[in-house]
Amino acid sequence: MNPVWLIAKKRDGEVLADAEIGAFISGYVAGSIPDYQMSALAMAIYLQGMSVAETASLTQHMLASGATFQWPRGGPPKVDKHSTGGIGDKVSILLAPMLACCGLRVPMISGRGLGATGGTLDKLESIPGYRTDLSLAEMREVVEAVGCAISGATADIVPADRKLYALRDVTATVPSIPLITASILSKKLAEGLDALVLDVKFGSGAFMKSTEDACALAQSLVHTGTQMGVETTALLTDMNQPLGRMVGNAVEVNESVATLQGSGPPDLMEVTLALGVELLVSTGYAKTRESGRIQLQKTVDTGAAYEKLAEMVAAQGGDLAAPRAVAPGTEILATQRGYVASVDAEQLGQAVIALRGGRQQLGDALDYSTGIEMLVQLGEKVDVGQPLARIFAPITSREEATRRVAAAFSYCDEQPNAGPLVVSL
Ligand code: URA
């Protein structure tokens, strides 16, 4: 196989064969195909796209570049949820224990903050002692014993994606639907799943700003996942303001705990239930959406999901009951009267980064105690001087975040119509 021929073939809009994609990916991982040829192929894919069959082939070969979970035959279905990333998105922390209480196994490999969006691993690391570096064997043990585990990707999972993602980042080839699809699915399918639900976010705090782009990505993920033999569904969910009220690390864990104890914000519960229902229906663990919803709600109402989260945290070395420090809060006040017309969720994510709740550079240490609490929502009427948000931060480091949070709100005179929170494909 001459890599130049394959690059030219894709450049000219032709379809690559499975064996050609396989040879290219294995050559790249082995080092016989250099970064510059992989960059050229990534750009050709960015410009020409890929069919579902080609995308599935790329996903399969990336997946095969590393280790995968090996599960014993039989037993309850293995399921997971993947979100394309948002601000205040703590759904994984709720959903993993809720699904485990319904009898499913949830081996959830999560990530750290990316751009302005927070990462589940960073949030969970605000729990004293919690380990996010479980080996595959340790993670499997926790899933078998508890029903769910949330940990980071090990070095041996999908090395092709680790190499290719870093290259895409510096060659302007990140926003390519086939490349994003293969990147996300190869990592998720390494978990050896039976069913997967994708939470594809749209709006000011999302990777995909428009519903059209989110829909195109969701369709590509569903078609490719299905072609690869995994029950795959997707929902589009609104990220035009943070999900729930809290954005940060310890404050998001606190909000997750409160939600599992029955006093969470309705939008967070709604998205969590909608995604959970997809998995219960996909696996046949619920006959209808309504019964799936009741099943999931019951795990919260009985306290079982909270207990399950505490059990998972303990199995991963943490103590959910240990205090999590939260920095002192100050309120940001409205400077205008009117309705909240828009909330720039990405600005809020950047404000958390300015508070060291997210990273500016690779390897930055985080301050888990910082964050933001939303005190109003889109479409709400506000008066001059009314608190819009609360910033949790040491007094000396609030300046940039205060500016960003204040700038994230815009106002209008007439009450705007709120769009739907969850959209089916
Ligand atoms: N998340 C991923 O894991 N990969 C992408 O390509 C984009 C978002």
Instruction: For residue 305, report the distance from its CA to the centre of ligand 1, in Å.
Output: 29
Query: How is the chain split into domains, by residue range?
Result: 3-49, 79-315, 329-412
Per-residue pLDDT tens digits for 311-342: 999 999 999 999 999 999 999 999 999 999 99
Please give the pLDDT value at position 115.
78
- Return mean pLDDT, the chain: 96
The atom number, within ligand 1, closest to the CA of 165 reads: 6
Q: Which positions are annotated as active-site residues?
A: 80-83, 120, 168, 183, 187-188
Overall average pLDDT of the 276-302 stretch: 98
Grade residue 114 by pLDDT with cuts at 50, 70 and 90.
confident
Give CATH superfamily name and number for 3-49. Transferase, Pyrimidine Nucleoside Phosphorylase; Chain C (1.20.970.10)
Q: Closest ligand 1 atom to the C-alpha of 187?
A: 3
Atom 7 of ligand 1: nearest residue by CA position = 180
Q: Indicate which atom in ligand 1 lies nearest the CA of residue 184.
A: 3
- Report the Cα 201 to chain-centroid distance in Å: 9
Residue nearest atom 2 of ligand 1, based on CA coordinates: 184
Give the residue, out of 184, 213, 220, with the most ligand 1 atoms within 8 A of its beta carbon, to mutate for a pocket test.
184
Q: Is any ligand 1 atom within 6 A of the Cβ of residue 355?
A: no
Does the beta carbon of 186 sit less than 6 angstroms from any atom of ligand 1?
A: no
Looking at the predicted structure, is the pLDDT value of residue 118 above 90?
Answer: no
Please give the distance, rounded to the nearest whole angstrom, from the Cα atom of residue 326 to the centre of ligand 1.
31
Same fold: 3-49 with 329-412: no
Ligand 1 mutation target, pool 81, 114, 188, most atoms within 8 A of CB: 114
pLDDT at 362 over 80: no
Per-residue pLDDT, 244: 98
**Residues 267-279: tens digit of each pLDDT:** 999 999 999 999 9
Return the CATH architecture of domain 329-412: Alpha-Beta Complex (3.90)
Cβ of 197 less than 6 Å from ligand 1: no
Average pLDDT over residues 345-350: 95
Say yes or no: CB of residue 59 within 6 Å of ligand 1.
no
Note the CATH number of domain 79-315: 3.40.1030.10
CA nearest ligand 1 atom 3, residue: 184
145 vs 174: which has the higher pLDDT = 145
Assign 28 a pLDDT band (cuts: 50, 70, 90): very high
